[in-house]
Amino acid sequence: MKKYRVGVVGALGAVGTEMLKTLEQRDFPIEKIKPLDIPENEGKMIVFRGERVSVEVAREGAFKDLDIALFSAGEAASLKLSPVAAAEGCIVIDNSNAFRMNPAVPLVIPEVNPEDLKWHKKIIANPNCSTIQMLVALKPLHDHFTIRRIVVSTYQAVSGTGIPGMAELESQVRAYTEGKPLDVKVYPHQIAFNAIPHIDVFMENGYSREEMKMVNETHKMLHDDSIAVCPTAVRIPVVRCHSEAINIETEKPISVEEAREILEKAPGVKVMDDLSKNLYPLAADLAGTDYVYVGRIRKDISVENGLNMWVVADNLRKGAALNAVQIAETLIKMNLI
């Protein structure tokens, strides 16, 4: 089997660390791993498959000896360095928002629209974490019942803001319990013991950019701009795993039994739904896992063809690192690399 030379840009960050772990755990065919980060982190060591590897600087020339570059260093780094990496011969799988809505760049979830990989021109975008878990759960239902409207509220973990988000929650919880003033830097308000309906910047229409990502990315990946999407994105003091309350309206009649049967067979999905045992997906239990978990499947009693569900996934795994590695695996499977 062919082996690949893989770079991870932002290797010391929350997603980068998870990418390295995911590549190891899934036994990705690797000839060489190259962790790349900012100049201040040059020479720091990571351990990959039991070997110590030195972090190098992500800059022009660093991609010439690589086949694949997994980017998770933020939008500015992606805008600057992804085209450089592509020009130096790499296929770039980019986790940031930089290229997601670029019509020349495929935006892909392997369980949803792998066919879009066929038209890649070296840069492929990894969708927003909230959109990934929503569409992994909804695509199989859309295929059977044709979704016309989605109303979604997210309950998003602080690791969605990377290492700084996790550090802020931890320091605020400590300060709160010690009766000290809270240091508020990463979020616009205290995140400890709070719920903040504000993720990313606000747009002119009153929605946040995070919310509009869920609208626009859904349309791009399902190839249908007519699906109505109404999101509310909320940050909560959970470390890992985003939860979503999702309501759908469908063209065809939909029953709980049919939906459950379809979801039980759907790729990447696990149904966790037994009210008699208080069983439903919980963020605290699912950190570090790879599936999109669906529970509380119930009829929307207010409309003709509607369904509600509760969907949880690890934002650092399926919401970021795992989806990126699965894109690379799918490229190999489809002979596109």
Q: Which of 5, 26, 30, 75 binds ligand NAP (CB under 6 A)?
A: 75
Q: Is 129 in the site for ligand NAP (CB under 6 A)?
A: yes
Q: Is 8 in the site for ligand NAP (CB under 6 A)?
A: no
Between the CA of residue 22 and those of 42, 99, 320, what are the distances in Å?
A: 22, 23, 11
Positions 18 through 47 that interact with ligand NAP (CB under 6 A): 36-38, 41
Q: Least CB distance from residue 93 to ligand NAP, whole Å?
A: 11
Q: Is 160 annotated as a binding residue?
A: yes
* Distance separating alpha carbons of residues 268 and 137, to the nearest angstrom: 8
* Active-site annotation holds for 90: no
* Active-site annotation holds for 129: yes
Q: Is 56 in the site for ligand NAP (CB under 6 A)?
A: no
Q: How many CA atoms are closer than 13 Å to the CA of 198, on its beta-carbon side?
A: 10
Q: Which of 6, 8, 12, 137 binds ligand NAP (CB under 6 A)?
A: 12
Closest residue to ligand NAP, judged by C-beta, is 13
Q: Which of 8, 15, 152, 269 binds ligand NAP (CB under 6 A)?
A: 15
Q: Is 235 annotated as a binding residue?
A: yes
Q: Which of 30, 163, 245, 256 binds ligand NAP (CB under 6 A)?
A: 163
Q: Least CB distance from residue 290 to ligand NAP, whole Å?
A: 14
Q: Which of 315, 318, 326, 327 binds ligand NAP (CB under 6 A)?
A: 315
Q: Is 156 annotated as a binding residue?
A: yes
Q: Least CB distance from residue 211 to ligand NAP, whole Å?
A: 15
Closest to ligand NAP by CB, 38 vs 256, is: 38
Q: Is 218 in the site for ligand NAP (CB under 6 A)?
A: no
Closest to ligand NAP by CB, 131 vs 330, is: 131
Q: Is 109 in the site for ligand NAP (CB under 6 A)?
A: no
CB distance 94 to 8 below 8 Å: no
Out of 90, 120, 129, 142, pick the active-site residue.
Answer: 129
Annotated binding site for substrate: 156, 235
Give the residue ranges of the annotated binding site: 100, 156, 159-160, 181, 235, 315
Binding footprint of ligand NAP on the chain (CB under 6 A):
9-10, 12-16, 36-38, 41, 58, 72-75, 77, 95-96, 129, 159-160, 162-164, 315-316, 319-320
